Structures are given as structure tokens and as C-alpha cells.
Chain A
Amino acid sequence: MAKALQVRNLSFQYKGTDKKVLNSFNFDVEKGELLAIMGPSGAGKTTLISTLNGLIPHLIDGKLEGEVIVDGWNTKEHETRDFATKVGMVFQDFETQLFSTNVALEVAFGPENLALSPGEILRRVRESLRSVGLEGFDEREPATLSGGEKQRLVIASVLAMESNLLCLDEPTSELDPMGKDDIFAIARRLKESKSITMIMVEHNIEEVLGADRIILLKGGKIIAMAPPKTILREVDLLRETGIRPIPITELFVRCRSKYLPLTLREGLESFRKEGWGIDEARYLSLIERDSLRASRYGRVLIEVRGLEYVYEGGLAALKGIDLQIREGEFVAIVGQNGSGKTTLIKHFNGLLVPTKGEVRIEGVDVRQTDILQLAGKIGFVFQNPDHQIFAEKVIDEVSFGPRNFGFPEKGIAERVDRALAAVDLLDSTEADPFSLTKAERQRLAVASVLASAPKVIVLDEPTTGMDYQESIKMMELVQELNKRGHTIVMVTHTMWVVSHYAHRVIVMKDGKMIRDGKTRQILSDLDGLREASLKPQQMVEFGRALGDFAFLSLEECRKCLVP
């Protein structure tokens, strides 16, 4: 059988750098195979994908060695645009791939480039939209779609080229949990119904179970290539490569079980086979610890009463919010995109002014003060660090805030040093912020807020686009800040982050708060999660299946487990 893809001794080095990003890669992909590529940030995943349709070397400069042969064509010998009918490319950031006025025209763009007849273009538009479940969306404007729908549209626009190889570069990293599920369902359907060969870069481990093979990358090298059932049990290897292992698998590895499960059901089975039990007293001590922590919070810092907010165009984003946040709390706000999370937190530092109701910071109505005064009390870390980074050097970037707030010049250097030390960027003081990785830039954004020493730190999606290790590093930093007395308010989609770090969870839906309580209570309230279209955590589900336990992490479960 002919191969869909052959990679031979492939190496690549970006222009102006001194290190190979890909180092002698060799692998083949069979027709109809679903191959998952995993690895930490900077492992070369995106670079590898970019070689598959000739973006490297034709559009991206650097030194390419070896061959990439797609369906008999060598990428060195044909331009990227000529590969359009052979390789479909879905990039990570769906926003940048949508540029048309409506859904149908977006899908038509590729076939139009191939100079197909309008009748044929229309047929492909219809069929591609059906494949991704966007029938009837033809006239919708892409900007009005949800994140998940946008990514599905991008996939449809690529499917319309009717190429046999589809490459997806982290297609779900910017989506909420439901959006993620949709994309994987589509991938499975495409594999089954159309026998399309697929190569998918992915962080989410539970989702690659359906792959035929996984390639693990690290530092520009292939360190493992095997079916998921083998690789997903190599928990230490996964951690080394910046991947979060399946919690249930890791639990059994840590407890040295010989029956390593990959799913919840297998986990329950293994639990029975091992004859283990749960110590209720130990579990109760976990709950006591929660209560003790809650009793230590200080005075009310943020108070919201009857808050409503309507955007200019008439969209009601918040429909009556009441809440208090006390000094020392660590609050996570969760909910689908468009549920009003970000709108809510933008009221905390005066970026938005309530349409109705009031927001008080340390007792002062935000309407009576201004953003400059609030900014000193409430530090706001935006989702995308690139929306604020401008300076030539890291140090200048961090001093920007304190200077604006008029802190004495003498104290600024010290503040900056302390902030950079906290985010572990002290070595990069003189570096160009854009030479840092995405995760480092996000930490830089935290540092530039930290330098003004605000009481409350508000973070919007602090771990977006980070791999597991980077996320842990980020969240440990946030946890440390909380322990040092900063109150934390964080919006996130990443439920394990909520589960591991937050003290309190607020669940939002359609502009309302539908749940508010201790993390353990909210995450084990499966109805509440379902109502907000959020997925339950595996360890919580595991505990619930074993009795009335809600474990927030596998460590908690391990502590309560009696062999």
C-alpha cells in the first residue's frame, strides 16, 4: 500500500538561530491512519506540521535537510499552494484563518482558488459544512459563531479542498470543554467515514485514545512512537514531555498497581481487582481543611450588588450578579464562552462601569473612582500577553506600571526585581520580551502587574496555550502569591486547574451566577456542571463511583486510599 506520508532524515533550523528544531526525523504514515503528535511547548510540533505542505521551506526561512514526501510529491519540488489539494492545514488560532463575510463564502475560498465551477464549489460547500455539523449556517457571519463553531468552520474550509491528508495543529487549545469534544467527534467521524489520513498535534491526553499511533517529541527529537495504549501508560515519560497523564492511570501507577487503567470504567475494575478501599476519616480531614482555610479569610475586598451590564449593541452580558470576595480568597470563575465571565471581572478594576447595580472595591463605589486609582489595588492580567507587551527589554516592560502609578523611581528597581524573581524571569531582565516563550510572556504579564503590588490579582485564562508543565509553573506561582496574601480571582476553562488550585468556584451561565461555593462542593455537583456545559473531573467521578467522595486531585485520592 502506498504511504500517505514519508518523512526521511528530516532536520530543520530556523534562520538566525543556532539550534535544530527538528533533528533527523524518520517516520511514515499509512493511508487512513490517525496520528497524534504530542510534546511540550518548543518541542518542534508546529515546525513539523509546517514541513508537511512545504510552508517550510517555501514560506518560512531556514535550513531544511532530508525529504518530506506527500502522496509521492517532494515538498522541496512543489510550492505550498500546489499542495493545497493534497494537504489540508488547520492551524491553532482559528481567528486568523477566518476572513470572509459569511460561512459559505469562507468554505468556498479554497475551491474558488482552484478555479472550480460555481456548481462544484457549492456542492463542496454543502458537503463540508455537513461533515462538521454546520448545515444551515451558510449565511451566518463567522464573527458571530462560538469558538467551537469557528474551529469547525475552519475544518470545513479545509475539507472543501478534498485533500486526503489533514493536519491539525492544536485545534482545540483555545476552546471550552464542549467545543473540544465537538472537534474530536468530527475527527473520529472523518476517519471512519472518509478514510482521511489525519495528523493531529494535541495536548489533551484523554482525546488521543482514539488515535492509531502517538509520536512523542521533545527537544526536536522523536522520543517515542507507539499506539496510545502503550504510551498513555508511560506516566513518567508523559510528564517529562509536558503532557498531563490521564489521572486515573497515574493514580494506579503511583500506587504501583499491575492493572493500569486508561478509562474510568477500567479504573473501577482495577480498583476492585486490587481490593482497595477508601479511608473515610482521612477524607473528612480534607473537608475540615477546606473549612479551616475558609475561616481565615479577611475583610470584604470586592462587593458586587445587583450588577447588570448591557453592551453598546444591546447585548445583556450580566443579568444581576451578587457576590462578595474576601481578602485571601482564591476564586475561580468558570462557564462557557459568552457566559459573562470576562465581562464580570472587567468591572473589578473599572474597565467597565455597571449599567445597573454597583461594584465596590474596599467599600468604594467604582463609579466614584477611576481606573487609575483602582489599578493600584486590583492588578489585571489579560488573557493575551501580546496585547500589552511593547517594550524593548523585559525590565522596561515591568517598570511601565509602577512608573505610571508614580512610585518613587528609587523603589521601582527593587519592585521590578522582586516581581521578576517571583515569576522566575530574573535571568531575562535585559532580554527582548518577544524572545520569550508564550508561557514566559504570560508570566511577564503577571510580573508587570505584580510590580505595582496590588491586593487583588485578577487573571483571565492564565494558562491558555501552555503545556502541562508550564501550566503547573504558572499556577504554582499564582498559588504562592495567594499564600503571600494576594487575593486571586481567575477566569479559566481548564477544569483541572480549578480543581487543584481554587478555593472557591463561581459557575456562570447566560450572564447569571448559577453556582457559588467551595471547590469541592461545586465540582461534585454534577448537575450544576452539566447545566453550565462543563465536564466533571475524572477523580471526582471516580470518588463518586466509590462512595460519596469528591477528590480534587489524584494526590487527595491517594492519601485516602487503603490498599
Chain B
Amino acid sequence: MNFYLYLDKKTPIHRLDPRTKLFLLISSFIVATIQQHPIFALIVAMPIFAHGVLSGSLRNIRRIIGLLVAIGILAALLWSIQAKGVTPLFWKFQVEPLLYGISTGIKIDSMIVAGIIFLSTTKNEEVAIGLVKLGLPYSFSFAFCTALRLAPTIMGTARMVAQAQKSRGLDLQGGGLLSRMKKYIPLLVPIFLTTLRYTNQLSMALESKGFRAMEKRTFLLEARFKARDYWITLGLLLVLALVIFIRIKGYGEIEGLLL
């Protein structure tokens, strides 16, 4: 079973400097969240989706399309119940909360998609180099990208443990709140202990391969800001400035929405 998202392709997005990709991700998040109106949310969702197409990440997005739809609809429903508006639609529903709900659904989906694209186009090692180039110490960057790498592995371990304990009759459903919480103990403990063993083995393997033997290490992958990185960064800055400007001017709000 493959839990890793990275797709080995040679698209222009893959070839960007990791810092640019990180900036792309963060910009996507900011742009996606800043406006209230679903029209704006949709407008923002489109370039994010285009980014996905351009970077060949559709395969990973398709894998979770059902989840995205479910999350979108659920979020739209729940957030529209929470808010209040002024224009009645039918029965207890009002226009503004519904718009707000739809926009929130789109925003949450956009953010998830942006995250998936980043992980589909960026190797863990690139994340590490990116962080080092941004001035963070290598040990920290290594821990960060190893964690990124390990998280899906641990989800895999969790699945195995769940299978093993279910085979021994563990039933997560049913029971009161406290007893249901306690049922996580037979699940969590083997996951943790397996991981702790791994800690010792990985530490030994790392030391044996000269981890931190030198003051500074080198990298096989190069990370250099090239012309296209500058252009994209510049473009993103302009987009961000524009979006923030529009927001400050008061556009993109749903009038009459009460939170």
C-alpha cells in the first residue's frame, strides 16, 4: 500500500526551488481564506486547480475526490447553520448563511488541494533543503522532513495494529464516553512501542552513516533560485497585494451576514 503522495514527474512546478513551492503553498492558503463570498472563493479555487493540473497532481486529487466532496458539502451545511442572515430563502434557511457555507466548503477544499499539490510536487529532501536555505539548522530540517515522511508510515502501522486488535475482538464502537476513549489504549500503545523501537534503530543507522559528522553537509539535489523562481515569487507577491487590497476595500464580503 502506498501512503506517500510525492509523484515523480518532470513538470515545470516540480523543477521550482523548494522555497518557491513553499511560498506557492502559503500564498494559496492566504488567497483561499481571505474572502467571504463564494464567487471569490470559486475564482481563487480555479488557479489552485490549474496549479494541480500543471503539476500533474490530479492523480492524488482524484484519489480523495469523494472525501473532498463530502467535506465540502458537510462544511457548507454546518457553517450555514451556524451563521445568521437577513434575507429569507425558504423555511428556516436564509441566503447569506447559505452563501457563507458554500464559500467555506470551497475554501476548505481549496486548502486541502493546495496541501496535496505541495506534497505531490516536493520531495521531503527538498523541504529539508528549503528549510536549511531559509536559515534553519539541518538537524531541525531533518527532523521535520523525516516526520513528514514517517507520518504516512505510522498511519500504515496504525492500520495493521487496528486489524490485529479487531481480530482479537476489540470493538471501538459502543460503550460510554470514557470506556470508548479507553479503547484507544490497545491501539495507541503498540503504535507507540513499535515507533519507539524504530527510534533506536534509525538513530543507529543515522550515526553509522555519519549523520552530523561534519559541521556542514552538502546536498545532492541543488536548490537555487532561477529566473522562473523570481518571476513566480514576484507574481505571487502581486497577487497577494491585489487580494489584500480588494479585501481592505471591502469587496468580497457577504452583506447582511451575522456570525
Contact = CB atoms under 8 A, between A and B. Distances in A.
B11 interface: no
Given A81-B210, A91-B205, A313 B1 contact: yes
A81 B168 contact: no
Contact of A89 (B160, B161, B205): B205
B80 to A, nearest CB: 32
A401 B208 contact: no
Contacts of B150: 99
B246 interface: no
Contact of A141 (B8, B160, B219): B8
B210 A84 contact: yes
Interface in B167-218: 167-171, 185-186, 189-190, 193-194, 197-198, 201-205, 207-214, 216-218
A110 B125 CA distance: 14
Contacts of A115: 214, 216-218
Interface stretch (A65-73, A324-332, A380-388, A413-421): A380-388
Interface residues of B, number: 53
Given A386-B197, A390-B185, A375 B166 contact: yes
B211 A371 contact: no
Nearest to B168: A401
A187 interface: no
Which secondary structure dominates chain B's binding surface?
Answer: helix
B210 A89 contact: no
Given A93-B201, A110-B209, A161-B209, A351 B6 contact: no
Contacts of A452: 168-169
Q: How large is the interface on A (under 10, 10 to 19, 20 to 34, 35 or more residues)?
A: 35 or more
Contacts, number: 182
Contact of B210 (A85, A108, A144): A85
Given A105-B125, A121-B218, A387-B164, A59 B171 contact: no
A99 B171 contact: no
* Most B C-beta atoms less than 10 A away, residue of A80, A349, A387: A387
Contacts of B194: 384, 386-387
A349 B169 CA distance: 11
B169 A389 contact: no
A79 B212 CA distance: 11
A85 to B, nearest CB: 7
Contact of B203 (A59, A110, A389): A59
Contacts of A404: 168-171
Contacts of B220: 104-105, 108, 111-112, 118, 121-122, 125
A409 interface: no
B43 interface: no
Contacts of B211: 81, 113
Contacts of A294: none
A73 to B, nearest CB: 14
Contact of A143 (B2, B202, B208): B2
Given A372-B171, A404-B170, A161 B210 contact: yes
Contacts of A434: 193
A449 interface: yes
A261 to B, nearest CB: 39
A422 to B, nearest CB: 17
B208 A386 contact: no
Interface in A92-126: 93, 96-97, 99-102, 104-105, 108-118, 121-122, 125
Contacts of B163: 346, 351, 382
A156 to B, nearest CB: 12
A400 interface: yes
B165 interface: yes
B207 A55 contact: yes
B15 interface: no
Contacts of A125: 220
A118 B205 contact: no
A82 interface: yes
A344 interface: no
A380 B217 contact: no
B87 interface: no
B124 A50 contact: no
Contacts of A400: 168-170, 186
Contact of B205 (A96, A161, A389): A96
- By Cβ-Cβ distance, the 6 closest A-B pairs, closest first, are A404-B169, A84-B210, A390-B189, A388-B164, A89-B208, A113-B210
Interface of A: 50, 53, 55, 58-59, 79-85, 87-89, 91, 93, 96-97, 99-102, 104-105, 108-118, 121-122, 125, 139, 141, 143-144, 157-158, 161, 311-313, 346, 349, 351, 371-372, 375-376, 379-380, 382, 384, 386-390, 400-401, 403-405, 434, 448-449, 452
14 contacts: A83-B208, A91-B201, A93-B201, A96-B202, A105-B123, A141-B4, A141-B6, A141-B8, A313-B2, A349-B167, A351-B167, A380-B167, A390-B193, A434-B193
